[in-house]
Every structure is written in structure tokens, then in C-alpha cells.
Amino acid sequence: MRKPLIAPSLLSADFANLERDIRMLNESNCDWYHLDVMDGVFVPNISFGFPVMQAMARVAEKPLDVHLMIVEPEKFVPQVKALGARVMNVHQEATIHLHRLLNQIRKEGMMSGVTLNPSTPVCMVEDVLQEADVVMLMSVNPGFAGQKFIDETVEKVKRLREMIDRRNLNTLIEIDGGVSRDNAQMLVEAGVDVLVAGSAVFKAADPKKEIDILKGDR
Ligand code: DX5
Ligand code: ZN
């Protein structure tokens, strides 16, 4: 079976031991580091911002996947680029001129990512699919790690897969929230390319082994 990319979410890392946790991921078979930025406005929580991510970037040896859960993400394209991020993921619900923003992100040499909340239908990105390198579906309401996977997301994955394949695009499908060894394989079969996992990785007895299990290597 096709192997997914694994993007552990640092939101579930031990913030008092970030360097240790990132070095552990450097040695693992994970693919991207998923960094969750929250502003307390778009989501009911605040996580970390650019100074902390700059420190993480100094230790990280793999690409950064920055998930901005903030209003007006278009203001921060230069800062995300300065981090050296591979992917800049913005919420469809948080920006008015999505088409322009996705193009700006690409122009800065990053992969353009658009994220949808559970209540936002996939048709909301239909007309920007060709500008998006990644479409990320939230399978929990954003703001917190450790929530239960919303089952309806699987149908959304299938619809999005169809939309992308019909148009012969290379857009990656990423999924974020409640991903674990119990649903990883089913999600890949439905068409997911990138699995984000916070608690599944960091609460595991052996996080590196858990990453292999999420990838399908048991
Ligand atoms: C939620 C964040 C997620 C979160 C995932 O708002 O966007 O990336 O860290 O955590 P788990 O995998 O524990 O649901
Ligand atoms: Zn996230």
C-alpha cells in the first residue's frame, strides 16, 4: 500500500523539553514537523508564535509544516518564509482572498496549503485546487490536541480525492486531528497523503515506533 507522510504535531510535545523532543523526531522516520499556531481569536486557545518556532527551526532537521489557526494569515507570509518552512497552511475560513494568498505563498517558494474546518464543505476549495499544493481537512474542531476523530471526515476525504484525481492534480490531502494507529490505514485507503498526529505520537510509550506504525510498518 501507498505510504503516507507522517507529520507529528509539536503541540503535544513537552514544551519544557522541546529540543529533546525535536531531536527524537530527527532520528525517527517522520517526514514533516507540524507546528500549530493559535491566536485565541480564530480558535479558543493560544499556543506558540514565531520566536518559539525560530528556536524549533534551529534544531529541526526535517521540513516544517506550519498550520496557522489565526485570523488574517496573509499578514505573515514573510515571517513563515523566514522560518524556512516547507508548507504554509492557512484556513479557508480565516482569509478573504484565498486565491491571492495561495499564489503569494507559492511565489515565496513554499508549498501552499489550505485548511478546512469540520463544518466547511470541500466544495469551498474547488476553485482554488490548482493553486493549492496541500488541502488539509480538520478531523476535529481546531484548538486542542487529544480530541476524538470526527468520522464524517472520511467521506470528505473521498470527495476531495475524486475532485483532485478528476483534474489530474498533484495536490496532497492532509488530515489533522484524532489520527491514531486505529484509523491511519483506513484514512490512507480513503485517499489521505499526509497524516498529522499529536497525542498518538507523543503519548506513545515509544514515539519512534508509533511513527512507523502510522506509516504502515508494523
Ligand atoms: C488541533 C491541531 C492539531 C493537533 C492534533 O487544533 O491543529 O494539529 O495538535 O492533535 P491530535 O493528533 O492529538 O488530535
Ligand atoms: Zn494542526
Question: How many domains does the chain fold into?
Answer: 1
* Alpha-carbon span 7 to 15, nearest angstrom: 18
- Separation of 9 CA from ligand 1 center, angstroms? 6
- Mutate which of 115, 147, 175, 214 for ligand 1? The one with the most ligand atoms within 8 Å of its CB, which is 147
* Chain centre distance of CA 134: 9
Which chain residues have CB less than 5 Å from ligand 2, an ion?
36, 67, 176
Residue 37: give its domain's CATH number: 3.20.20.70
* Alpha-carbon span 97 to 150, nearest angstrom: 28
Q: DSSP class of residue 106?
A: H
1 has pLDDT over 80: no
- Separation of 139 CA from ligand 2 center, angstroms? 10
- Known catalytic residues are 36, 176
Ligand 1, atom 9, residue with closest C-alpha: 145
Kindly report, residue by residue over 44-77, the tens digit of the pLDDT: 999 999 999 999 999 999 999 999 999 999 999 9
Domain that holds residue 39: 5-215
Give the pLDDT mean for 92-116. Answer: 98
* Cβ proximity of 166 and 127 under 8 Å: no
- Separation of 95 CA from ligand 2 center, angstroms? 17
Q: What is the CA radius of gyration of the chain?
A: 16
pTM over 0.95: yes
Give the pLDDT mean for 12-25. Answer: 98
Please list, in sequence order, all residues whose beta carbon lies within 8 angstroms of the beta carbon of residue 166, skipping any fewer than 6 positions away.
Answer: none
